Structure formats: C-alpha cells, structure tokens
Amino acid sequence: MPDDFVKVAQTDDLKPGQMKAVDVGDDRVLIVNLNGSYHAMDDTCSHAFAALSEGDIVGGEIECPLHGATFDIATGEALSPPASQPLTLYQVRVEDGDILVGPPDTG
C-alpha cells in the first residue's frame, strides 16, 4: 500500500496558534497548530466557501472571516450559524520536524 502522505510544512513554520493554507493534490487544506498539536481541514467554509485561512483562531475554534461561523479545529464540527455542515478533516503526522498530510480522515 503506497504512502499517501505529503510534506506540506515544517514544525518550525507553524508556532502554536498559527495556521497555513497549503495545496494537497486538488484540495486546499488548512494546517493549524493548536497548542503544539497539528490539525488539517478544508480551508473552505462549508457555508459560504470563504477561505478559513483568512479567519481567526479563537481558543480551539476557527472563525470564518465572511459571516463569523465557527468550527471546532479538532473535530471539524460546525459550532455556530450560519454554517451547519462540518469540515472535512485530513490525517496529519509529524516526522523529523516535517508536517505531513494524508487522505481525509474517515474514522
């Protein structure tokens, strides 16, 4: 089975509380360092398709810059209107200081 993970950044690129949008294949993925734990999700709000990378991290949530919808960074769950659909999460692993993103997390 091939390894579908790709290097998207280094841990030194993302300090706690920072985020970065990257392209993984045809997908625009948002990488977030939440207190030293790395998370990857769609960079697109499920409500109005705005770039979440232009929004703000507030606690464990990311806020859409367009209408203020919030999403749980760890689960992708839509927490406030107008968004109601969750974000797709991607698998993340760190190896030797490299942040790698894999296929969407199905479990």
Taking phi over 0 as left and psi of -120 to 50 as alpha, with beta for the rest, 31 belongs to beta
Q: Which residues of the chain have pLDDT under 70?
A: 1-2, 107
* pLDDT number for residue 1: 36
Instruction: Indicate the SS3 state at residue 33.
Output: strand
Structural domains present in the chain: 6-104 (2.102.10.10)
Query: Are residues 63 and 82 in contact, defined by beta-carbon separation less than 8 angstroms?
Result: no
* pLDDT number for residue 84: 96
* pLDDT number for residue 106: 77
What mean pLDDT, rounded, does the chain reach? 95
Beta bridge partners of 7: 100
**In whole angstroms, what is the distance from residue 96 CA to residue 99 CA?**
9
β-strands 19-24, 27-34 pairing:
antiparallel
